[in-house]
Amino acid sequence: MRKLMPTIAVMALSVPALLGLSGIAQAQDKFKLGMAVGGNTCCEWMKAQGDVARALAEKAGWDYVELSNNNDPATAVKNAQIFVQEGVDAVIQFNGQPSANAAISAVLGAAKIPVVTYDIADPGMYFVSIDNLAAGIAGGEQLGLIMKEKWDCNPDLVISSEGAGAGIVNEWRTGGMRTGVNNICPGIPDEKYISFEGSGDAAVALPAARDLLAANPNAVKMAVVGINDGGMLGLINAAEQLGRADEVIGWGQDGAFITGDNVNPHLAGSVFYFLEGYAVYAIRDVIGPIAEGKDVPLKADPGDPASKVQPCPVSAEQAKAVPDMPERVVALLAAPAGTTEYDLFCPNK
């Protein structure tokens, strides 16, 4: 009996150990997706991008690791190193600080980990993006149509709320919107196009917008575009404070402030990107096939991306039929695999 006891004890202790080992082996077989969210607190969609990627990864039976880039290049590079240590099989990132992309590409490339990057291209990463220039032009043309109808294409000012930190994306969006306005209303003099730095944040843009309006005291008919809805709203709020909002018309980008029951009446429309749902494109066109062992050719060129997200310009009236972001995420995750929010919610397909 005495000799039997240690044997039983060893056997009993072996069971969890064996279970643990088999668990480790199983985990090693499992595909592991790393997700680096942008971490800029400007926008709810940045956090939601991670939530959607997590849900889709779990649906696919993959392991999932999420880190935040904290909108900081150094953190983004450190996160790439952590992904290597974690042994992920693929990474999705939204990195608003393109200066770090080359270093991230080098770290993950050395470990042979494929990377999908959203909206800001890098030669070593699969590019999944909205066509920012097309989105800008589409929004600008819609605004131009309103300007043509209301003002016979004769505004006092066309104001751009810029977000210079976003680099080329800012130029595509705000420049695209000016091009779109010009497509519908050619002949607006150059001096009527003016810009200010709004950082894509309504609260930060507000004082600069007030100053710009004060320096243009006679402007009444003002069309406003912006890198996103938030930056554009900064000018609308400033116009309200200075008592000059009667004839302000804004058309934004990203659709962040055009749904729900608290929409500013001067916001005429926006372009939905459904940014929170980008993971559908990334997983459908890149990560999914890689997980299945297929060879997916690297497409890093903005002109020929690995997956193209369709922009969806909507008027404020049409946007009333589009649910808020949390509801959209629920519907997206309940839809068949590969279904995009554009398919589900865009009224102008």
If the CB atoms of residues 102 and 214 are measured against other proteins, the closer one turns out to be 214
The residue among 234, 216, 90, 65 whose CA lies nearest residue 155 is 216
Closest approach, Cβ 46 to other proteins, in A, equals 8
Q: Stretches 19-27, 128-136, 183-191, 209-217: which one binds other proteins (CB under 8 A)? A: 209-217
What letter represents residue 306's amino acid?
A
Count of chain residues binding other proteins (CB under 8 A): 38
**Using rule CB under 8 A, residue 262 touches other proteins:** yes
Quick count: other Cβ atoms within 10 Å of Cβ 236? 28
d(CA 76, CA 94): 10
Candidates 125, 135, 181, 213; binder of other proteins (CB under 8 A) is 213
The residue among 100, 137, 142 whose CA lies nearest residue 249 is 142
Closest approach, Cβ 193 to other proteins, in A, equals 15
Closest approach, Cβ 86 to other proteins, in A, equals 22
**Using rule CB under 8 A, residue 237 touches other proteins:** yes
If the CB atoms of residues 265 and 338 are measured against other proteins, the closer one turns out to be 265
If the CB atoms of residues 100 and 202 are measured against other proteins, the closer one turns out to be 202
The residue among 34, 28, 21, 100 whose CA lies nearest residue 65 is 34
Closest approach, Cβ 181 to other proteins, in A, equals 22
Phi, psi of 298 (to 5 degrees): -70, 120
If the CB atoms of residues 23 and 326 are measured against other proteins, the closer one turns out to be 326
CA-based angle 265:42:128, to the nearest 5? 100
d(CA 81, CA 322): 39
Closest approach, Cβ 239 to other proteins, in A, equals 10
Structure tokens at 68: 């935040």
Per-residue mark of binding to other proteins, 160-199 (x: CB under 8 A):
------------------------------------xx--
Closest approach, Cβ 191 to other proteins, in A, equals 12
d(CA 295, CA 26): 24
Closest approach, Cβ 208 to other proteins, in A, equals 4
d(CA 106, CA 217): 52
Candidates 168, 208, 333, 335; binder of other proteins (CB under 8 A) is 208
If the CB atoms of residues 7 and 262 are measured against other proteins, the closer one turns out to be 262
Phi, psi of 284 (to 5 degrees): -65, -45
If the CB atoms of residues 110 and 215 are measured against other proteins, the closer one turns out to be 215
Interface with other proteins in residues 32-61 (CB under 8 A): 41-44, 46-47
CA-based angle 135:49:63, to the nearest 5? 140
Closest approach, Cβ 17 to other proteins, in A, equals 37
Candidates 22, 99, 154, 241; binder of other proteins (CB under 8 A) is 241
**Using rule CB under 8 A, residue 234 touches other proteins:** yes
- SS3 category, 298: coil
The residue among 232, 158, 236, 170 whose CA lies nearest residue 201 is 232
Task: Note whether 65 and 58 are within 8 A (CB).
Answer: no
Closest approach, Cβ 21 to other proteins, in A, equals 36
**Using rule CB under 8 A, residue 207 touches other proteins:** yes
Structure tokens at 204: 């930060």
Structure tokens at 171: 């130029």
**Using rule CB under 8 A, residue 275 touches other proteins:** no
Instruction: Tell me the helix, strand and coil percentages in the chain, rounded to 5.
Output: 50, 20, 30
**Using rule CB under 8 A, residue 201 touches other proteins:** yes
Write out the residues near other proteins by the rule CB under 8 A. 41-44, 46-47, 196-197, 201-204, 206-208, 210-215, 217, 230, 233-234, 236-237, 240-244, 256-257, 262-265
